[in-house]
């Protein structure tokens, strides 16, 4: 991308963010920013700016969100996956601990946008599988019952680390093996996961 396009895109993004902050009153010292602002700003600004700048969303790498997209109790872990960014963010309470580039679902088998919960963790899920060295099953939330239902989706490693950053999976979130191993060791069963546009 040319330096002029990068500059114009950055300018449009900053002006969009500034406009949202002023309209919502988030800039006021007496008002605490909503935890959902990064999600709304990231998804809507990216679509608007993609049209305005002619830059595709695949070329856009936004900075880490400053706060989790949903409320998290102090001391609890949260995994947030921003599909357009192809990035997984790991939070402990409201503090961002780390972020990782990931692979997501293909166009014909996209990673669903949902609320999830880690329900199973497996070390070395099997030789010759595409799951790499770690597998964490994520169960989907059912808004009607409030319960989590078993799925075949997961966050796992891969034997094809060169494909990280691309839409290649059957809907799962793939990570480099060293990255999934770090996350796997930190988060317990029951950890909340959200996948966002």
Tokens coding 14: 């900053």
Tokens coding 118: 């880690």
Strands 134-141 and 114-123: antiparallel
End-to-end CA distance of the chain: 23
Query: Could you give the C-alpha distances from 168 to 60, 106, 107, 162, in angstroms and in order?
Result: 19, 5, 8, 11
Among 172, 173, 187, 193, the active-site one is 172
123 is catalytic: no
Q: Distance (Å, rounded) from C-alpha 85 to C-alpha 41? A: 13
Residue with tokens 């809507």: 44
Among 156, 158, 174, 184, the active-site one is 156
Query: Could you give the C-alpha distances from 35 to 99, 118, 161, 195, in angstroms and in order?
Result: 18, 22, 32, 15
103 is catalytic: no
Among all residues, which ones are annotated catalytic? 156, 172
């Amino acid at each position: 991308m040319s330096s002029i396009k990068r500059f114009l895109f950055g300018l449009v993004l900053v002006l969009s963010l500034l406009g949202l902050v002023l309209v919502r009153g988030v800039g006021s010292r007496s008002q605490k920013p909503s935890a959902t602002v990064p999600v709304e700003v990231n998804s809507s600004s990216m679509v608007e700016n993609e049209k305005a700048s002619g830059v595709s969303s695949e070329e856009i790498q936004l900075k880490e969100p400053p706060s989790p997209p949903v409320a998290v109790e102090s001391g609890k872990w949260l995994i947030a996956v921003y599909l357009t960014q192809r990035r997984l963010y790991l939070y402990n309470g409201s503090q961002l601990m780390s972020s990782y580039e990931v692979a997501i679902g293909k166009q014909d088998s996209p990673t669903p946008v949902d609320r999830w919960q880690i329900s199973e963790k497996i070390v070395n899920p099997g030789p010759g599988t595409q799951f790499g060295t770690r597998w964490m099953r994520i169960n989907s939330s059912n808004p009607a019952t409030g319960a989590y239902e078993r799925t075949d989706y997961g966050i796992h490693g891969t034997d094809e680390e060169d494909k990280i950053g691309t839409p290649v999976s059957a809907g799962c979130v793939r990570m480099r093996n060293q990255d999934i191993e770090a996350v796997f060791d930190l988060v317990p069963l029951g950890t909340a996961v959200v996948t966002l546009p």
